[in-house]
Every structure is written in C-alpha cells, then in structure tokens.
Amino acid sequence: MSRPPAAADELGRLLLPLADEIEAAKTVPPHVVAAIVGSGALAAMVPAEYGGRPLSHRAYGELNRAVARTSASLQSLLTVHGMVCSSLSRWGSEATRQRLLPRLASGELVGAFGLTEDGAGSDAQAVGTSATPERSDAGAGDVGTVWRLDGTKRWLSFGQLADCFLVFAKHGDRSVAFLVQRDDPGVTVVPSRPTSGFRSAMLADLYLDGCRVPADRMVGRPGFGVSQVAGSALSLGRLCVAYGSLGLAEACCDAVLGHTSSRKQFGGRLIDLQLVRGLVSDAVLDTEAARLLCEQAARAMDTKDDWLIQHVLTAKLAASRAADKASAAAAQLHGAAGMVDGGPVDRWVRDARVMQIIEGSTQLLQDLLAEESLQRFRVRRRHPRYPFEAGADCAE
Ligand SMILES: Cc1cc2nc3c(=O)[nH]c(=O)nc-3n(C[C@H](O)[C@H](O)[C@H](O)COP(=O)(O)OP(=O)(O)OC[C@H]3O[C@@H](n4cnc5c(N)ncnc54)[C@H](O)[C@@H]3O)c2cc1C
C-alpha cells in the first residue's frame, strides 16, 4: 500500500535546486508541477479502483515534509489537492468519482479547497454562500435537479491553477459541499491579494454568481458539509501542514547548523558559543518532538485510531510552533545575512507564520485540543479503566 519514505527524499532532492526559482517566480512553473505529478503525489489520496496510487498517511506525510523543505508554498498543493481527492473518494457520488478521480489522480486536473469567506474564517459554520435547488430541463424531456450557488470564497491555495473546487455552502441552515468546475457557468477565478508568506501558492478568490451544478456533484449530504466533509478534510489538511512544518523546521535546523559551524567571530565558530548552542538545541529539540508527534498522528489516521483527532491537533500545533522557533533561530543566527529579502531564511520566517494560521490557527487548535482533552477526561472519570495512553487496551 505505501511506498517507502525513500521516494519522498528522492522528490525532495529533485526539487531542492528549484527553491529560489519557485519563490522568485511567485508561482509554480509548469515543470515543477510536472515533477510533482511524476512523483505520483497527486494520486496518493485516490483509491486504486479510480486510477489512484494510494499511499499511507505516513508516506504521504513524508512527501509533504520533503516538498516543504524546498517550498512550503508548493507543499500546500499536496495539502489541498489531497483534501479534495480524499473528500471526493469518501463522500462524492459514484458518477462524479468515476468522472473526476482518475483525472485528479493523473494530474490532468488540480483540486482546490474553498471554505474561507469574508465572514467565515476560523468559524467555518458561518459560511454564507447559498445553495438553492432548482428544477432543470436538460432537453429531451430530461428534467433533473441542479443547485444554484452564490457567494465568494477567499484565499484558495492553488486556486489560480485549479480546475475544480470543493466548495462549502448553506442550504437554509444546513451546510452542503459541492464540487464546482472552473468551466461551470457563473464561476470567476481572480488572484487573491499577494501574501507575504506562501508567495508561490497561487492563491485565488472564487466568485460564484448564479453558478449551477448538477445534483450529482454534491459531496456528502445536506447538513454534513462542514461537520463531516470539511471536518475529515481538515484532519488530513492538518496532518499535511504538520508534516510541512516539520520539513520547514528541518531545513532551518540544517541551515543553522551549517552556518554556525562555519561562521567565525571572536576567533572561533559561532556554534562553540554557549548562548548559540542554547538556540540551536531548542530548535532541534522542538523539531525532533514534532517528528514523533507527526508520526503518531499519521499512524492514528492509518489505523483510524480513536485518538485520531487529538493526535492530529497535537501534531499540527507542535510542528507549526517548531517551524516558528526554528525559523526564528535561523534568522537570529544568520545575522544580517538572514534578513536578505527573498532569501531562504526570510522565506522560512514568513512561511512559518502561515503554518500557524492555515487549517486552523494556533489559538483555534488550542481551543479544540482543550475541548477534546476535557471530553476524554470526563470519560476517564466515569470509567477509571479507560486508558490515558493512546493505543492501550481498554477492554476489561
Ligand atoms: C497562505 C494562505 C493559504 C490559504 N489557503 C486556503 C485554502 O486553500 N482554502 C481556504 O478555504 N482557506 C484558505 N486560507 C484561509 C485560512 O484558512 C484562514 O486564514 C484561517 O482559517 C483563519 O481565518 P481568518 O484569516 O479569517 O482569521 P480569523 O478567523 O479572523 O482569526 C484571526 C485570529 O483570531 C484568533 N482566533 C480566531 N478564532 C479563535 C478562537 N476560537 N479562539 C481563540 N482565538 C481565535 C486567532 O489568533 C486567529 O489567527 C488560506 C490562508 C492563507 C494565509
């Protein structure tokens, strides 16, 4: 089922020389997209019966880690494309799965994720895009249902490149999800305002103005849109961001070790100064801890462990913080060289900030983690034999 992590390192080595080109271009050049397609990464969240080359979450996480070492912007392509593929695989109609999944797996189509709106950021339930069923006459007396979508989605990673969009809307007070195609009537894609981090993530805003999609493009049932479809997609997204943050933190740690062991001041190497060693060891410690939490979360997703949500929240929180700390150490220890506009250290600092915002901000995830822990605490209090440790056997 899963390929060994060596495939991830191979992709990482292939992409590494392209890091500056991707950042300077503020877009992802077609040959880089081709390299990603060639690695099979876009097929990883598609079942084999629909033309996919499924990977375990651990192996997919490793791909995300390897790509983020080169470019966090580029890694976000794996995040959102994977979220669209897994949602469609799990919740899509059979007709839409058969029609779109093979093309998503081959990279012929790219998917983007449209949840955020002006009035719905952290509060995903507040989406205001409306979904209204209409009767349609498709000709030859073939009367069916289409859904009319109206609203605006913001900040879709790789929205500029995407061919289809997983969009969340409301039908009355029930949330619904749809797969919208770029060539559907009433769809307009406009590049978002430029962001300081993730400069090459090709962000777009999506305008739906009387957009009509056939009923078989609904993903999940009415009422299930945000709670189930977005919920499970966000778990995968958070795992990807956790592994992406880990890759970014690793790149920072390597740069810090390389620089401080070659740079000489006061007659010796920076790395031999105790205060410098404190910064370096803190960054390495947090990065190593994040690696273990990422592996624990990926294992939980692979085994559909009861602790899945808690482990994914923990991994995303810890890894994005590790990236923040490691990039701050890199900036501090490179001195003026770290401040070069558009240089790798500058990029890591900006991208690490984004990792603490996307797929749930640090504060939102802290809130969710506290709630999840509280619920488990209540269960443990009622059932003292309930295990504190994940994976422990709670059977009598
Ligand atoms: C580079 C980039 C790529 C993105 N890609 C996508 C994408 O592909 N698809 C998509 O749908 N969206 C995308 N987004 C949007 C992203 O998901 C949102 O920015 C994120 O959900 C936060 O929403 P917001 O920006 O509206 O901030 P708000 O919700 O306004 O939150 C602002 C801050 O308030 C605090 N806060 C919010 N809620 C709480 C809470 N409950 N408890 C404590 N503090 C809280 C946090 O500090 C938070 O950072 C992207 C954003 C960026 C920057």
- 85 CA distance to ligand 1 middle (Å): 22
Mean pLDDT of the chain: 93
Query: What are the Cα distances from residue 35, in Å, to 134, 263, 297?
Result: 42, 35, 27
Q: Is 367 in the pocket of ligand 1 (CB under 6 A)?
A: yes
Read off the pLDDT band of 136 (50, 70, 90).
confident
Ligand 1 pocket, mutate which of 76, 238, 361, 372 (most atoms under 8 A from CB) = 361
**pLDDT tens profile 328-370:** 999 999 999 999 998 999 999 999 999 999 999 999 999 999 9
> Does the Cβ of 198 fall within 6 Å of ligand 1?
yes
**Calpha distance 63→75 (Å, rounded):** 9
Number of residues that make up the chain: 396
- Cβ(23)–Cβ(347) below 8 Å: yes
Residue 383 pLDDT: 80
Report the pLDDT averaged over residues 134-151: 80
Does residue 115 line the site of ligand 1, with CB under 6 A?
A: yes
Tokens 């375990």, residue? 56
Distance from C-alpha of 107 to C-alpha of 100, rounded to nearest angstrom: 11
* Residue 219 buriedness (CB in 10 A; 0-12 / 13-18 / 19+): buried
- CA dist 297 and 315 (Å) reads 6
Give the residues across from 174 on adjacent strands. Answer: 171
Instruction: Give me Rg for the CA atoms of the chain.
Output: 22
pTM for this model (two decimals)? 0.95
Q: Is the pLDDT of residue 141 over 80?
A: no
Nearest one of 348, 368, 372 to 359, comparing CA atoms: 368
Supply the pLDDT for residue 380: 83
* 359 CB-contact burial (10 Å; exposed 0-12 / middle 13-18 / buried 19+): buried
* Average pLDDT of the residues in 206-226: 95
Residue 46: DSSP 8-state: S
3-state secondary structure 72-134: HHHHHHHHHHHHHHHHHHHHCCHHHHHHHHHHHHCCCCCEEEECCECCECCCHHHCCCEEEEE
Name the residue at shortest CA distance from atom 13 of ligand 1.
155
Residue whose CB lies within 8 A of the most ligand 1 atoms, among 84, 317, 364, 365, for a mutation test: 364
Question: What average pLDDT does this structure show over 206-218?
Answer: 97
Most confident of 14-28, 29-43, 244-258: 244-258
Give residue-wise pLDDT tens across range 182-203: 999 999 999 999 999 999 999 9
Kindly tell me if the per-residue pLDDT of 78 is higher than 50: yes
Please report the pLDDT score of residue 143 as a whole number: 64
The C-alpha atoms of residue 320 and residue 131 are separated, in whole angstroms, by: 35
CB distance 320 to ligand 1 below 6 Å: no
Least confident of 96-105, 237-246, 308-317, 382-391: 382-391
- For residue 356, which atom of ligand 1 is closest to its CA? 49
Burial class (CB in 10 A: 0-12, 13-18, 19+), 123: exposed
Identify residue 98 by its one-letter amino acid code. Q
Q: Are 70 and 11 in contact (CB under 8 A)?
A: no
- Residue 144's pLDDT is what? 77
The residue ranges of DSSP E strands in the chain, in sequence order, are: 111-114, 130-137, 143-156, 164-171, 174-181, 187-191, 204-214, 218-219, 264-265, 268-269
Q: Residue 308: CB within 6 Å of ligand 1?
A: no
Look at residues 283, 194, 174, 301 and name the one whose alpha carbon lies nearest to residue 237.
301
User: If you average pLDDT over residues 141-163, what whole number do you get?
Assistant: 91
Asked whether 161 and 317 are in contact (CB, 8 A), the reply is no
List of long-range contacts for 185-194, beta carbons under 8 Å, 24+ apart: 185/210, 185/211, 185/212, 186/149, 186/210, 186/211, 186/212, 187/211, 189/159, 189/160, 189/162, 191/160, 192/154, 192/155, 192/156, 192/159, 194/26
Q: Which atom of ligand 1 is nearest to the CA of 153?
A: 11
pLDDT confidence of residue 7: 79
As a whole number, mean pLDDT of residues 154-167 equals: 98
The per-residue pLDDT for range 260-273, each reduced to its tens digit, is 999 999 999 999 99
- State mean pLDDT over 283-295: 98
pLDDT bin (cut points 50, 70, 90) of residue 2 is very low
Atom from ligand 1 closest to the CA of residue 116: 11
Q: How confident is the model at residue 388 (pLDDT cuts 50, 70, 90)?
A: low
CB of 257 within 6 A of ligand 1: the answer is no
Check residue 6 and give its pLDDT. 67
Q: Looking at residue 389, what is its pLDDT?
A: 59
The pLDDT confidence band at residue 5, using thresholds 50, 70 and 90, is low
Class of the CATH-defined domain 111-223: mainly beta
Domain ranges of the chain: 6-105, 111-223, 227-382
* pLDDT above 90 (res 46): yes
The superfamily in CATH containing domain 6-105 is: Acyl-CoA dehydrogenase/oxidase, N-terminal domain (1.10.540.10)
- The answer to whether the CB of 114 is under 6 A from ligand 1 is yes
Classify domain 227-382 by CATH number: 1.20.140.10
